[in-house]
Amino acid sequence: MSFKDSVYSESTVYGFLNSFFVPYLRSSTCRTIHKIFNNFFFFQYISAFLPGRVPVTKVDHPLDKKIPFTPSWVTIYIDFTQFWIRMVAFFLRRYGRRAYPYVKDLTVSMGSLYEFAAQVYRKNLSTTERPFYIKRPRFFIIHLLDPHLMCIPSLHVMVVIHAFTKFIEIAGKLGDEEKYTEQIKELKQGALAISQAIFFVKQHSINCIPAALYAVTKFNEELFTVKDAEDFINLLFLPPPVSEKIPKNCRIHPSASPLTIIPEDDRKEIKNHIRSLYLRFIEEGKTSASWKEPVLNFLKTYKI
């Protein structure tokens, strides 16, 4: 696959502007933006400036200390929004009007995903210890825009997993899933890299990923099954994407690979915890009145 065939070659500006200027897509795009701001930014800022309205749980885990703060991962971390907007551009550029219903469905589903996660946030917020690091401008933006109160479930993880599974679904509906096997591989690799990046920039605890995987499974189990989640966990902490298909600003130096900076025994222990907590949520969810009950119970009873 050449770079021009890669999803990463697509312009996020193209995808974003077309979502506004195509009348068929405009209203759904506006509604999704409103849901994102209302359920993430607005509610989080209100909670930060008016503390006490919603309980806040610290969700750090002792194993977090085995993952070193690695600032070079920030370029991958902040790519999660562009990650799915490139998909919009990819389908619009190749299919034109034929892609409109599928792009609209993708956009609407992203707004619904934020609403889904907010069912937990509005009942119990969560945070972790993160270093105050602003030597790189991107970290300054993170500290400025993110009050860091919505750690469980991690929306970064939820968004990228939902995005690459929707890509598979849309490609199948267009009759071209086999044609895009390489693109599906690179998107899954990108989703894994972003899911790892949340640890290395210290925006999340290892407790945050199993909650996110559980939430995505409950959001649409047809797209992301329990088996898919376990496969995803098994692939964590492998080398990040560094191929020519990934833009330079989204690559990291090989010396910052998880294989280099986290010993094998520690990687296994971390992944075992993630798998165990995910399966615990799944089991508890089978007898719960609502999908969110296992996560809320965890937040209410969790002690570091």
Average pLDDT of the chain is 91
Nearest to 217 by CA among 209, 174, 125: 209
According to DSSP, the residues that pair with 127 across neighbouring strands are 58
Distance set, CA 273 to CA 72, 86, 87, 278 (Å): 25, 33, 32, 8
Please state, in angstroms and rounded to a whole number, the distance separating the CA atoms of residues 155 and 270.
20
- Is residue 249 predicted with pLDDT exceeding 70? no
Q: What is the pLDDT of residue 109?
A: 98
Give the mean model confidence (pLDDT) for residues 145-170. Answer: 95
Residue 118 confidence (pLDDT) above 90: yes
Mean pLDDT over residues 285-302, rounded? Answer: 97
Whether residue 239 is predicted with pLDDT greater than 90 in this model: the reply is no
State the DSSP code for 10.
Answer: S
The pLDDT of residue 131: 86
Q: Taking the CA atoms of the chain, what radius of gyration do you get in angstroms?
A: 19
Name the pLDDT band for 29 (thresholds 50, 70, 90).
very high
Banded model confidence at residue 117, pLDDT cuts 50, 70, 90: very high
Question: What is the C-alpha to C-alpha distance for residues 65 and 211, in angstroms, rounded to an integer?
Answer: 19
> Among 32-41, 241-250, 257-266, which is the least confidently predicted range?
241-250
- Return the higher-pLDDT residue of 48 and 276: 276
Mean pLDDT, residues 286-293 taken together: 96
Residue 91 has, within 13 A of its CA and on its CB side, a CA count of 30
Whole-model pTM: value is 0.92
State the average pLDDT over residues 45-70: 93
Listed in sequence order, the residues at least 6 apart from 24 whose beta carbon sits closer than 8 Å to its beta carbon are: 100, 104
Across 16-30, 39-53, 242-256, 279-293, least confident range: 242-256
Euclidean distance between the first and the last CA atom of the chain, given in angstroms as a whole number:
46
Q: Is the pLDDT of residue 242 over 60?
A: no
The 10s digit of each residue's pLDDT in 174-189 is: 999 999 999 998 899 8
The pLDDT value recorded for residue 246 is 59
Predicted confidence (pLDDT) at residue 2 exceeds the cutoff of 70:
no
Higher pLDDT: 242 or 111? It is 111
Token pair 């939902």 is found at 162
pLDDT at 143: 80
| Cβ neighbourhood burial of 175 (10 Å; 0-12, 13-18, 19+) | exposed
Cβ–Cβ < 8 Å for 199, 67 = yes
